[in-house]
Amino acid sequence: MEFLIRFSQSHETFRLPEIQALALIEGIDMRIVSYSLESPFCIVSLPSGDAAKRLIRRSILAMSIHELWGSGSDLDKVHSAVRSTTSHLWSKYMTCSFKFTIDSYQGSRTSDDKIRIINSFAYLGFAGPIKMRGPDEEFILFEDWEFNSTPLGIPDPKYYYFGRYLGSGARELPKKLDLKKRRYISTTSMDAELALVTANLALAAPGKIMYDPFVGTGSFPIACAQFGAVTFGSDIDGRSIRGDEKKRTLRGNFEQYGLLGGLGGMFTADLTNSPIRRAELRYDGDGVTGRVFDGIVCDPPYGVREGLRVLGVRDPEKCPWVIPKGKEMYKNPDFIPPRKPYSFQAMLDNILQFSAQTLVDNGRLSFWMPTANDEDQEIPVPTHPYLEMVSVCTQPFNKWSRRLITYRRIPDVEVDPEAMKAREEAKPVGKTADELNPFRKAYFNGFESADKGPEHPS
Whether residue 431 is predicted with pLDDT greater than 60 in this model: the reply is no
Query: What is the arithmetic mean of pLDDT over 24-48?
Result: 97
Whether residue 457 is predicted with pLDDT greater than 50 in this model: the reply is no
143 contacts: CB under 8 Å, gap ≥ 6:
102, 103, 104, 105, 107, 109, 157, 159, 160
pLDDT tens, 362-402? 999 999 998 877 666 678 899 999 999 999 999 998 888 99
**CA 331 from centre of chain:** 37
Whole-number pLDDT of residue 184? 96
**CA 153 from centre of chain:** 38
Could you give the percent of the chain with pLDDT greater than 90?
A: 68
Whole-number pLDDT of residue 286? 76
Q: Which class for 108: exposed (0-12), middle (13-18), buried (19 or more C-beta within 10 A)?
A: exposed
Query: What is the arithmetic mean of pLDDT over 118-139?
Result: 95
Q: C-alpha angle with apex 21: 206 to 264, nearest 5 degrees?
A: 30
Could you give the percent of the chain with pLDDT greater than 70?
A: 90
Model confidence at 442, pLDDT cuts 50, 70, 90, reads low
Model confidence at 416, pLDDT cuts 50, 70, 90, reads confident
* pTM of the shown model: 0.89
Whole-number pLDDT of residue 454? 42
Query: What is the arithmetic mean of pLDDT over 68-85?
Result: 96
Query: What is the arithmetic mean of pLDDT over 213-222?
Result: 96
Whether residue 120 is predicted with pLDDT greater than 80 in this model: the reply is yes
Whether residue 100 is predicted with pLDDT greater than 90 in this model: the reply is yes
Question: Nearest-CA neighbor of 68 among 93, 91, 42?
Answer: 42
Whole-number pLDDT of residue 320? 78
Q: Are 109 and 102 in contact (CB under 8 A)?
A: yes
Model confidence at 78, pLDDT cuts 50, 70, 90, reads very high
Whole-number pLDDT of residue 82? 97
pLDDT averaged over every residue in the chain: 89
Whole-number pLDDT of residue 453? 43
Query: What is the arithmetic mean of pLDDT over 120-129?
Result: 95
Give the β-pairing of 359-372 and 400-409. antiparallel
Whole-number pLDDT of residue 170? 97
Whether residue 91 is predicted with pLDDT greater than 70 in this model: the reply is yes
pLDDT tens, 229-261? 999 999 998 889 999 988 899 999 999 999 999
Whether residue 92 is predicted with pLDDT greater than 60 in this model: the reply is yes
Whole-number pLDDT of residue 423? 75
Query: What is the arithmetic mean of pLDDT over 411-419?
Result: 88
Query: What is the arithmetic mean of pLDDT over 92-102?
Result: 96
CA 97 – CA 139 distance, rounded (Å): 11
pLDDT tens, 302-335? 866 666 888 778 777 777 777 787 777 777 777 7
